[in-house]
Every structure is written in C-alpha cells, then in structure tokens.
Amino acid sequence: MPLRHWWERAVPIGGAPSARAISVEPDAWRPVLETAAAAGARLLGLWAESDPASGAGVYAAVLAVAGPLVIHLPLGRELRYRGIEDLFPAAGRMQRAAADLSGVQATSADTRPWLRHAAWDARTFPLVEDPVPGRAGPPPVDDYPFVRVEGEGVHEIAVGPVHAGIIEPGHFRFSVVGEKVLRLEERLGYVHKGIEHLFARTPVMDGHRLAARISGDSAVAFSWAYCQAAEGMAGQRVPRRAEWLRALALELERIGNHLGDLGALGNDAGFAFGLIQFGRLKELLLRAIQRAFGQRYLLDFVGPGGTRVDLDAGGARVLLECVAMVGRQTELLHGIYDEHAGLRDRFDGAGAVSPELARRLGLTGLAGRASAQAFDLRVDAPWHPYDELEVVKIARQEGDVLARVAVRFGEVMESCRLVQRIISSLPAGPHVERFSAPREDAFGIGVIEGWRGPAFIALEVGSGGQIARCHPQDPSWHNWPVLEHAIIGNIVPDFPLINKSFNLSYSGHDL
C-alpha cells in the first residue's frame, strides 16, 4: 500500500505542522514502516512504554513528505515486537534503549544493553518501577560482547568512558593495525540522568525547563520543540512576536555552537590561532546575548505561550552590532582556514562519509548536509516564522571534515543574515500570552531544526496537569553510528578531529 493510505487513516495531533498519528495491529507494524522507508521518510524517533495496568506499546515517528507521522503499536501484555533496524539503521540503538528502560524488546539480532551499564538490575526497568539501589546487592557488571576483529597484527585500543578533560563519558573501542582503524564500536549512556523519569514527575507548565537541559547546547531547540507540542495540544497559537523571538534565539544558538566548533577544529589540527579567534568571537556573542536577554545561554528563554523576556531597542542594537562583526570576521577567518596548507591537509579527505552511505544510514543535520543529504526543516518543512524567512540551505557533497567545516562556515554567515532580518522585521505586540494546559490524555509532538539537526519531542499529558510521558530524541542518536563508519581507514590520531567535526551529544543519550 502507498504511504498515502496510512496517512489518510491517521488522525491529526497537536504540535508540529501537519502531524498525524495512527495505531496499527501487529501485522501492519512492519508494512507501514516498510512503506515509509521506501517513500524516503526519515526516522525521527522510536520509544516504548510498559504499564502494569494498561499494557505495553511501541511508537515510531517518521517525517514524510506530507508531515510527521507517529505509528503506535499496542502490545497489551506482550513485550516483544518486530524490530525495524533493517529499515532505519539508527533504530537499532533506540530499540536497545527502549528495552533497558521499559522491558519492551525488539526481535532484532542485537539485544545487548545500551543504557543500563549495571546501574540497575537487569530485571528492573526505570520507566516501569523505580530502581532501588542495593535492594538485592550491587548488580553484576555486564560482560559486554564487543564485536571482535581478528587477524594478524590486529589489536584493540580502549578509550574512555572517563576522558582527560570535562567532556561527558563515552567508551570507544578501536580495532587497529598499526595506526589504521579497521573498526570502531561505541558505548554511551553512562550518566543515567533519568530524563524521561523526571519528565513524568513534572507539571506540563514546567516541562520546557527540563527539555532545555536534555542537551544544554541545544536548549532553545528542545525547549521550543516541547512548547510546540504543548501549545499544539492546547490549540494555542503564540503571538507572532514570540515566534520571531524564538527564531532569533535559535539562530543565535546555531551561531554560538558553530563558532565554538570551528575554533576547536582548528585547534585539533594544530592551528591554535583558530581556537583563540573563534573563542573570542563566541565570547563576544555570549556577552551580547547576556545584555539583550539576561542569559548567556538561553536555557529558559522559550516557555509555554511565548518567551520569558522581550527584546528592547538597546538589546536589538547590541545584537545587530555583534552579528555584523561576527559575520565580517568569520568571513575573514574562512579565507585563512581555506589558505592554510596544514589545515587543508588534515581536513581534506578525513572521516569521509559518502552520500550513498549517508542516505542509507540516515545521517542528519549539518553532518548530513555535508554528505549531500540536503535536508533542513527550516526549508523543507518550515514552521512559523521560517515559512516567511526564506532560509538559504547550506550543503556539500564531499562528506569529509573539510565539507563539515565548510557547512559550518556557511551556516554562520546565513544565520548572521537571518538574525539581522529577524530583528529588522520583528513584529510588534506581546511576546507572551497566558497558556492554558492541554486536556488530560492529549498527545502531541514537536520537531525543531536545531544546530545539530532535528530535535524531537513526543509529549503525553496525564491527570492533574502532570506529564504522563515525554520522550526526547536528539539527532545524535542518528549520527553516532555513522561516526563508526567515518573513522574506518583513517589513523587513530585523526579520531579527535573527525569526532569534533560531527560534535555529537553524549548528554542526549542519557535518558
């Protein structure tokens, strides 16, 4: 059946533009997702639930041409379903995470634990019951079966999970011959923040604050995705001025992260001048944001009904002067990076992901756009006010570190232009309106194109204005598996550079 058949049977839900949801029987679960994959739909997220009273279920959200579609498979007392990692490779780790948290298991070849790391007993599931530390003694340490590469001269290098520095934990197991990498396998999710569990203890009116802290470098994207879902379920349209202020904050967040990455990439290639210059530009931007909005990082800027604060004339002037300066100096530094022989030697060809591999594995966001996956929600599925802003999409096809650097340079310049456009066209009127919480049992989703890629939120409201379930999906879930392929054939010393060129979120995996 064509995807249109399932789309027409689905019902509209609140949140992202044109979003719909459908419940299917077990014999339709795979066919609808096979049809979606064949039609070029993109996986947004996968999650599961298990309740002793109401039973279990699994959800998959895809982005089709017509809009987002959530497919729900009720399982009742059955805790197994057919996996979809062959259709959407990134789903493999999502299925393993869902099994760790809820006990709902996919029938796939890889059923190794992903999030648990012996932090709780294998028979305990945090989204079903609270783990009680020490109830039956410390859980045994998992004998995690890494995939072995055998042959003459092959040996393993284990890096992490604790790293030298302040980055979050992650384990990288390299199989190498000499310095050439034959295989990389990752393990993430060591912190156990309990984000999904915390959401279920949070009032709907306060959930945006927790959403902003899923992955702090994407605070605006995730808090806006949360509010998009909540406001859509409540049938509330925020003021136009609030929509434009949110877009302003989202573009400032994009600029700040790209500036930091461009400096770090220069430093990883031995060009400390780049780190100093881009660090200076990022600090000046953060100071301008502080003067305009009262926060260096906009963790609580987006809230239900609008924004926490407005932008006055003085703040607008500060931001305009700052982004004009950032744009000029970024353009100058782009020329320096392009002409620096040492940088080009390290960037060119390193960590290449071919367009075909990127398409097959579902590479998304800026990394995807550097590998000819020219998809950007701000252009291809715009929401207010991006349907008025005429964003210019930045894309390359080489798929290496050099291409990912070029996309960042292009997006800094485009976001500087957008900031100037937004401020000069900022609608008059209120920046926030009173928000009325959605009704009980309402369900909706939010999807916002953050600097790293689509930030996804699925939100369900319970009784008394409490959140029943909120599932976030960071775009890094899609891109971490691709990094394992990008390093193959490169040398071990190039891994920090290749890893930074993706700059994926560790925090976004600790649900």
Q: How many CB atoms lie within 10 A of CB 165?
A: 5
- Spell out the alpha helix ranges (H) of 39-140: 91-102
Predicted TM-score (pTM) of the model is 0.96
Q: What is the dihedral of CA 279, 285, 290, 293, to 10 degrees?
A: -150
Q: Which residue ranges does the chain devote to CATH 3.30.390?
A: 153-191+475-505
The backbone torsions φ and ψ at residue 182, rounded to the nearest 5 degrees and listed phi first, read -95, -35
State the Cα–Cα distance between residues 19 and 45, nearest whole angstrom: 14
User: Which helix (H) or strand (E) is 447 found in, with range?
Assistant: strand 443-449
Tokens of 365: 């966001």
Environment class of residue 136 by beta-carbon count within 10 Å: exposed (0-12), middle (13-18) or buried (19+)? exposed
Q: What's the mean per-residue pLDDT of the chain?
A: 94
Tokens of 326: 């950032």
Classify 84 as helix, strand or coil: coil
Q: What is the pLDDT of residue 192?
A: 86
User: Which helix (H) or strand (E) is 268 found in, with range?
Assistant: helix 240-268
In CATH, what is the architecture of 195-474? Orthogonal Bundle (1.10)
CATH 3.30.390 assigned to 153-191+475-505: yes
SS3 readout for 464-510: HHEEEEEEEECCHHHHHHHHHHHCCCCEHHHHHHHHHHHCCCCHHHC
359, HSE (Cβ side, Cα atoms, 13 Å)? 11
Q: Which residue ranges does the chain devote to CATH 1.10.645.10?
A: 195-474
- Fold of domain 3-106: Beta Polymerase; domain 2 (3.30.460)
Q: What is the dihedral of CA 286, 289, 293, 296, to 10 degrees?
A: -10
Asked if 223 contacts 301 with a C-beta cutoff of 8 angstroms, the reply is yes
Contacts of 473 (CB under 8 A, 6+ apart): 44, 45, 46, 47, 61, 94, 455, 456, 457, 458
Q: Which residue ranges does the chain devote to CATH 3.30.460.80?
A: 3-106
Q: Are strands 42-51 and 14-15 parallel, antiparallel or unpaired?
A: unpaired
State the Cα–Cα distance between residues 404 and 372, nearest whole angstrom: 11
State the Cα–Cα distance between residues 460 and 187, nearest whole angstrom: 30
DSSP 194-206: -HHHHHTTSBGGG
Q: Which residues of the chain have pLDDT under 50?
A: 134
Tokens of 498: 């290749």
Q: What is the pLDDT of residue 53?
A: 79
Query: 446's torsion region: left (phi>0), alpha (psi -120 to 50) or beta?
Result: beta
Classify 50 as helix, strand or coil: strand
